[in-house]
Chain A
Amino acid sequence: MSPETGETFQLDVRRLEPPEPLERILDTLADMPRDARLRVVHRREPFPLYDLLRRLGYQWHTEGADEYFEILIRS
């Protein structure tokens, strides 16, 4: 499935306490169509998220540094 076809969902979790960012990301992924992408704005690199994404069959790409990270997730 081409990542360009689907809609891109946005999620900013920078003002949430752990583990809410992880919960919100998983909830949003569960609710959105399979061809959609999710762009997450996070204040730290979410290492604990990656293994869950892998297990759930998602691919991701992270960019950013210091206080601003963008994680693009798609199936």
Chain B
Amino acid sequence: MLNTAGLSLDQAPPIRVPFAFFLAAPFFVLLAGVLLLWQGEAVLLTRWSPSALALTHLIALGFLTQVMLGALFQMLPVLIGARVPGATWIASLVQGCLILGTLALVAGLQWGGTVRLSLGAGALALGLTLFMGAAGVALARGRGAPRTLQAMRLALFGLLMTLLLGVLLVAGLLGVPIGGLTAWVDLHLGWALLGWVGMLILGVGYQVVPMFHVTPAYPAWLARSAAWLILSGLLIATAFTLMGWSGAAVWGFGPAVGVLAVFAVVTLDRQRRRVRPRIDVTLLHWWSAMLSALLAALVWLFGGRPELIGVLVLIGVGLGLPSGMLFKIMPFLSWFHLQHRQVAARRFDVRLPHMQAFIPERSARVQFGLHLGALSALTSAAIWPDKTWSAGLMALGALMLMGAAALLSRLQFDCYGRYLEIGRRL
């Protein structure tokens, strides 16, 4: 049988669809930096401060979810051969809702206000539901890479649970009586970090780690069981919380954290066994993110400060890993779309640059250095929040965070500019 049903780029979204998400994301990190400079002490003293909640959502929704959604719109066809239906207009609508919802929710968490909080929750609910519908159709049709498909389907369920719990919490903030609010916050966090982000990292990691760094595949025992173990853990934690035994929910979170820690160790081992010993900036970001995840798991295991876990997970993993992936994905998509245009136009006289030419490795490494500096400074400030020097360290961390975001943004726009420039010749 001859296969003619492959991916058609005519039906895949134009490059501006994922790029719109990628280009918008660093601006939320700049906002997060401003918030840290302004409210730094409150953020790291307690995770319950309005500023800590606002900062968490600026990074988790504004940066992390933004990049992940943009990448999924484009990468689902590449990774699993499944197209997102109506991607172009749905993506714009989803992104509009995500940006509006994030800004409104963050303002509502920081300053309160029924309108801000309702608008935030409403816009996010609309945008994320639209996304889940569209991606759900693609994932239902997908046929390649069964383990990735499975993890991505479960990740989508994790996003749904995160959203439902988030809406419930906003209702609580608006005065609807909800018993044991802190237990529901923990559950919301658990589904967000383990069920949505963690599960998606599993699914994407199974593909991109062996692919981009030419490593051995993940072991079958891990890929077969990891996503289901995380899901089971989270369902157990949810059941305990529903029954009012919030103290027992940890028995559900524990296995999920453990599975992701194993995933991090296996990832580092796969990368150590890569075919080419070359180290690139994406690999550096992966290493720093996996080590951050392992440290966060250890801090959690020994009952350390939640604010420290927050810094390690949000900055170390949530900011670092997508940044590292963007340094691969954006040049890859630029090159890939140009390659298609060249074939379509039969303009073989135009020489396409190498993928590496779209984002210079040296500048990307400077960005990684700034990120690592910010991560180190903020981690130290979160370990010792009440020392005399911690405010200064926090300010330094915030400035480096903004520097890393500004440079990331600059490199992204340069990449897109290069794409447009070559595209005009085709």
Contacts and interface: CB of A to CB of B under 8 A. Distances in A.
A15 B214 contact: yes
A54 B4 contact: yes
Interface stretch (B151-159, B259-267, B333-341): B333-341
Interface residues of A, number: 25
A63 B48 CA distance: 54
Interface stretch (A4-12, A32-40, A43-51): A43-51
B275 A15 contact: yes
B343 interface: yes
Given A15-B214, A52-B339, A67-B217, A47 B275 contact: no
A18 B210 contact: no
B2 interface: yes
Contacts of A55: 340, 343-344
B1 interface: yes
A71 B29 CA distance: 44
Nearest to B4: A54
A21 B336 CA distance: 12
B251 interface: no
Interface in A11-36: 15-19, 22
A47 B81 CA distance: 6
Interface residues of B, number: 33
Contact of B332 (A18, A49, A50, A54): A18
Nearest to A56: B343
Interface string B1-27: 111101111100000000000000000
B160 to A, nearest CB: 27
Nearest to A67: B217
B214 A17 contact: yes
Interface string A50-73: 111111100111100011000000
B2 A22 contact: no
A22 B213 CA distance: 16
A59 B6 CA distance: 11
B81 A51 contact: no
Nearest to B213: A17
13 contacts: A19-B335, A19-B339, A43-B217, A45-B81, A47-B77, A48-B336, A50-B3, A50-B7, A51-B6, A51-B8, A54-B6, A56-B343, A67-B217
Interface of A: 15-19, 22, 43-45, 47-56, 59-62, 66-67
Given A15-B275, A18-B212, A50-B4, 13 more contacts: A17-B276, A19-B335, A19-B336, A47-B7, A47-B78, A47-B81, A48-B336, A50-B3, A51-B10, A54-B4, A59-B2, A59-B4, A66-B217
